[in-house]
Structures are given as C-alpha cells and as structure tokens.
Amino acid sequence: RQNNWPPLPAFSPVGPCFYQDIDVDIPSEFRSLVRLSYYLWLAHVCLLLVNILGTLAYFIGVQAGKTNAGTVFGVSLIVCVAFVPASYVCWFRPLYKAFKNDSSFNFFLFFVMFFVQFGILAIQCLGLDYLGSCGWINAFVMMKQSTAVGMFMLLIALCFTALAGLDMALLVRVRPRLLIEHSTFSCTLSSPHSLSEQPALPALQVHRIYRSTGASFAKARQEFSQGVLANEAVRGAAADAAAVSARSAFTGGGSGGGGGRY
C-alpha cells in the first residue's frame, strides 16, 4: 500500500512516510479510541505552534535586558520542529501498530514514551528560562510589563497545564503487568463490554485493553528478538562478524602451529 501520511502536496520534494488508515487497519472496536489518541496528538501539535506565537510576543514585548526572552523564542522553534515528528513516531505510531498487529512490544513502547511526554509537559508548564515555553513563571513576570502579552502567556501556560493533567490522568492506571495469564486478544474483541462502557480517557482504555490482551514484557521481548533476527542487515552483520572471527581463529591457530615447529 502506498504511504499517505503526512498528507503532503504533490509538488513537495518529500513524500509521505507512513500508511495510515484507521478504518482499514484498526479493528472496529478500537477505531474511536485510536482516533481520540490521534486528536490528542494534534492538540499537542497545535499547542506547540501557539507556544511559538506566545514566545514571540514575549520576545517583542519584554523590556531589553530583563529576561532571556530571545532564548525562549529560539528554543520554542527547536522544540516544535523536534517534538512534532518525534511524538508521532515515538508514541502515536506504536499505539497505532499495537492495535493493528496486537503487539506487546508496541504497547510497552507507547506506555514508556507517553509517560516521557507527560514529564516534558509538566516541565514546560512551569515556564522556566531556556525551556522554550510560555509557563506560569515567565507569564507572571511578563504581566508586570504588558498585561495583554502576559494574559496570552497565561492562557498558553494553562493549556500546557491542562494537557499535562490530562496525560497524568491517562497514565494513572498505566501499570503494565509483567505476566498476564488469563486472557487473549480475541477475548477482548468478543468482550460483552462495549467501548462506550470503558473509561472515557484514551490511555485508560489502552491500559484496560492491554491488560486483557495477554500482552506481557516477555512477549514484548520475544517480539523484539524476532524482529532483530528477521532483519536482513542484522543477519548479514552477524554473518560477517562470525566469518571474521573464524578467519582470525584459523590464522592464529596456523601461526601458533608454525611457531611450535620451529
């Protein structure tokens, strides 16, 4: 299937990197959950873009020499450029593949990276210098110089706090169990409990589904090992290393034998 995400114009020199079609790839029971997670990712992207405007206003409105507003604005650009693709690849894409392929490894990857995102948001909402975000500290500092800019920054700080709080709520019950013995993914698909009866927050739903799929750390490790062994580049490198070791041992053995004779 041809890649279709991100949706780029035809004249773009760079094409889409992934194939994404929730209606095709995701079982019907979980489509609304994956869509909610995608919208949550979009909310983070929009907030990072608005944050750039806030730090720009901060840079323009602050009195010269009073703060590190220029640094805050520059870092906000870097953070946006880096975090938008990284968050998609590191937590949404694993979530997508976890439901698509019933993958324990991708479930674990989602849990870990989503927790990392929560930590980053919790720091960003503070508004410390050099972190590239409009948070509570620099917003209140700006209120003393420009009420309008300060209020705009406070709104962004509130959004960061709200998203951090939402992520924290999503992760309250994300406690992956090392061993789950009593159910399988097929049991989840045939469960009499509809998705509407499950927790409304996406990650709570993910965790509840994860707990009933039979996913475990052992399965995740097995999937990772199988993926590595199936990789042609890895197998080729291993074969080359084995050949080099064999030649070295043979050469060393031959040299040692010659030294013994003379």
Residue with tokens 């707990």: 211
Residue spans per domain, the chain: 22-215
Contact 156, 47 (CB under 8 A): yes
Identify residue 153 by its one-letter amino acid code.
M
d(C-alpha 154, C-alpha 88), whole Å:
27
Taking residue 161's Cβ as centre, other Cβ atoms within 10 Å add up to 17
Q: Which percentage of the chain shows pLDDT scores above 90?
A: 38
Given CA atoms 23, 26, 31, 34 in this order, what sign does their dihedral have? negative
Instruction: Please tell me whether the overall predicted TM-score, pTM, comes out greater than 0.75 for this model.
Output: no
Contact 21, 8 (CB under 8 A): no
Q: Give the model's confidence band at 193: pLDDT under 50 very low, under 70 low, under 90 confident, else very high.
A: very low
130-161: per-residue pLDDT in tens? Answer: 889 999 999 998 998 899 999 999 999 999 99
